[in-house]
Structure 1
Amino acid sequence: MKSPELLRETAKVLEETEEKIKGLTSLSPKRKQIALKKIREAKENFRKIADDVVIDNEELANFFLKRAVKLKNSTNNKSIERLGEKEYLKDVEAMFRYSKAAPYDFAGLMKYVNRAYKAYVWGMVSFFVVTAFLPVEFKITSLILLIPILLSLLSLRKRGYTGLMLAFAAIPIPLITGALAVRAYIDVFINPTALQEAAQGLGVSTTTAQIVAGVMVLFGIAELVLLSYAIYMFYKHRHAFL
């Protein structure tokens, strides 16, 4: 495999970049320390992943090396004065984020992200099923969330950071809805009045209403479990998203 060698070379280039940053006068002391901290961590991240490679992705490793070389070449006072401190630090930040995401491409950690994605998909499917028999305001809420959820799904598939943020924003309301739904559907079992109202609202017998409520309780519990797992795993593996 060539990836480990390329990743070590990337770390070496970043080490050289670190030394060049120390001699810069075009960065303010505060921003110089920020750049040094991120480059040091990126360097160590690439060194570590080079020892843990299980997936040989030579093309991506080459990309990281080229970006490291580009950053090194732009680490001089003249280039930074031309680009501006903020633009230079954006390049440093990008290199840092690449180093944090690298384990998902080389060490096989994407399987955890894929599990979270599947949990998110099925959790949201359960959310829409659960709201089907709830009052109209819940249906309206689910329709409002439909577009953000779809956009998050598309972006998450591409490991987009925007999709991650959309998922974080979208999940809380379905979680609350799921909890309320479970409580409401359980009430159908223990409250004769609620059972009668549910049967009348659906236009079915009380037995059928109980069956529907039972199925919805299962969907509600599934929604809570799956979305809780998804949001936890997405946060834990947030560095996979760029």
Structure 2
Amino acid sequence: MKKTLLSLAALTLLASGAQARTWEAIKQSGTIKIATEGAFPPFNILKGKQLTGFEVELAEALAKQLGLKVQWVTQPFDNLLIGLQQDRYDFVIASHGITPERAKAVDFANPHYCTGGAIVSKVGGPKTAADLKGKTVAVQVGTTYLENVRKVAGVKDVKTFPKDTDAQAALMAGRVDAWVGDKFTGLDLVKAQKGKLVAGDLLFSERIGMAVKKGNAGLLKELNAALAKAMSNGTYAKLSTKYFGTDVRCKN
């Protein structure tokens, strides 16, 4: 789905200075440092002290193919691309939607899944963009969901939350009329609530990619090659089926 709509100027300022670790340096060290949010099920989620989810397992599979151990870092979503610019880790996998603005600030790998921003509400609630007129909508701060809901004409109010799970909780508590977030997260939410919620239309579609620091071409090439291999040897399909019951790779 996601995310981070930090100003391009802020990210560009952070891009100057220290160099990111090259692929050669990473390979020599034997460990790759990967950052994610850890609060965005089913893609990346901390369960106790255990980090898991589709993106976590996928990243670990890619690292294994590259012959590397993984060191994970979890950060609030809004901090992830800032930390990447400051060379705190080698790449980020946290459901970032590939947008023109972000692509000016970081380099994206080929998309590792395609999704969209879905409307979810209680039974009888809004299901289409037109239905959102006069309604209050919950979204996670710093996301493409926030950006796109703001484009919908007539929305009464957009309430933002630090975590997507907080936005979901606001819907369940009746503090908002609808939640907009990742369509797969929305399907899981509807299923978990057993008849209390309904999934509506997609407001927009997007491609999701891993991010590396601007100009880190060697690492980007290796990540793309590892992802392509995982998609061709059955590794990706197995993980996708485990989490979603279908293949979520981009079809075009």
Normalization by structure 2: what TM-score? 0.24
State the TM-score, normalized to the length of structure 1.
0.25
Relative to its length, the structure with more helix (as a share) is 1
Q: Which has the higher strand share?
A: 2
**Bigger Rg, which one:** 1
Structure with the greater relative contact order (CA < 8 A, sep ≥ 6): 1 or 2?
2
